[in-house]
Structure 1
Amino acid sequence: MVLHPRHKLAYFKAACWEKRWIDTAQKLVCDEFEHSYVSWSQSEGSDKSDSNVVIPEPPKAKPCASKNMFEDLFDTLSTSSVPVVDELQLYLSTEVENIIDPIKWWYKKCKTYPRLYQMALDYLTIPSNNSFSYLH
């Protein structure tokens, strides 16, 4: 839930979880991110044993579609401008977004959150138990 931009930690608050439970959920995500993804570099994408997803190359300079110079600010930042350990905190500090397809959202944000993008794909693409109901 935390890695779904529509829910993040707000899901747990809406479900009336106790604060200490929410804190524990956040700590579990932070610990997993720091343990398995912070040291991961984009060049390792194809060598990662539990995933074959590789972050796409950034597009070449594109013409501005909007006259508002701040509209695409986060999309134009290089990944080196966002400290690695702050990717998760940056993501959690933003408001939830009413989106339907979290994978598509993460793909669009892969340059802003390259390591968190990989973590989101690793977790959000795990099939649910309902996916295997045809086996019974």
Structure 2
Amino acid sequence: MVIPAMDHIDNVFTKCIIQNAHLDPAISAALGLVKRTLNRYYSCSNSSEVYQIAMVLHPRHKLSYFQSAGWQQDWIDTAEDLVRTEFKCYVSHLLVPTNRNDNPSPLEADVNIFNHLPTLSQPKPTASAKELNSYLNADIEDVSDPIAWWYGH
């Protein structure tokens, strides 16, 4: 993920600048410029709701990454709120009522065999706030491919 990688690079550059104060001024200046450029891009990903949601939905990170990296609690709360809001939107699309008549007349049921195909039945809602809470409260998992993980769940 981009945010943990950028955090790591930023930490390495910061330590390098602090621990190697005796570096040539040109090297120190170059490190400072690289760090400033990195932070400019970092702030773009940091303020992106998509990145925040993606981090929380990554089974290896969830909210614990931000807690262990020392992020501010209000930012962590905002990231969680974003995920919950998106999840509610997702669930609301699953529960869109249809205008389909679930009680066809006996004549219609006898005449049209396609009225009761399993693939045409209204899907049962499976997603709930309980499901999201369960995911967020579960331990993080060592997952290298989060998309494959989600596909399997």
Give the TM-score normalised by structure 1.
0.47
Larger radius of gyration: 2
Give the TM-score normalised by structure 2.
0.42
Q: Which has the higher contact order (CA 8 A, sep 6+)?
A: 1
Q: Which of the pair is proportionally richer in helix?
A: 2
